[in-house]
Structure 1
Amino acid sequence: MKPIRNSAKAIIVQDGRLLLIRLQDQYGDAYVFPGGGQEKGEELKDAVARECLEEIGQAVQVGELLHIREYIGANHEFAEWDADIHQVEFYFECSLVDPKALVFEGSNPDDHQVAVEWITLEELRNIRLYPKTIGELLLKKGEQRIYLGDLN
Structure 2
Amino acid sequence: MKPIRNSAKAVIVQDGRLLVIRLEDQYGAAYVFPGGGQEKGEELKDAVARECLEEIGQAVIVGELLHIREYIGKNHEFAEWDADVHQVEFYFECKLIDPKATIFEGSSPDDHQVAVEWIPLEELSQVRLYPKTIGELLQNKNSSRIYLGDLN
TM-score tier (shorter): over 0.9
Task: State the identity as a percent.
Answer: 86
Shift of 1:144: 1.1
Which aligned segments of 4 or more residues in structure 1 are displaced greater than 4 angstroms? Answer: none
Aligned residues of 2:66 and 2:143 also touching (Cα < 8 A): no
Deviations 1:96-147 (A, max 9, x none): 0000000000000001000000000011010000000000000110341000
Cα distance in 2 between the residues matched to 1:68 and 1:41: 20
Counterpart residue identity of residue 31, structure 1 = Y
Say which SS state the counterpart of residue 41 (structure 2) adopts: coil
Taking structure 1 as reference, are residues 143 and 60 closer, same or farther at Cα in structure 2, changes over 3 Å only? Answer: closer
Match of 1:114 in 2: 114
Q: CA RMSD, aligned part only?
A: 0.5
Under a length normalisation based on structure 1, what TM-score does the superposition of the two structures give?
A: 0.99
Q: Are 2:134 and 1:134 aligned?
A: yes
Q: Does 1:29 align with 2:29?
A: yes
Residues 107 and 125 from structure 1, CA distance in 2 versus in 1: closer, same or farther, beyond 3 angstroms?
Answer: same
The gaps in structure 1 that reach 5 residues or longer are none
What's the secondary structure of 1:138's corresponding residue? helix
Q: Describe the SS at the equivalent of 1:52.
A: helix
TM-score (norm 2): 0.99
The answer to whether structure 1 residue 125 and structure 2 residue 125 are counterparts is yes
> How far apart, CA to CA, are the structure 2 residues paired with 1:41 and 1:125?
37
Cα distance between partner residues in 2 of 1:42 and 1:142 = 30
3-state DSSP class of the match of 2:42?
A: coil
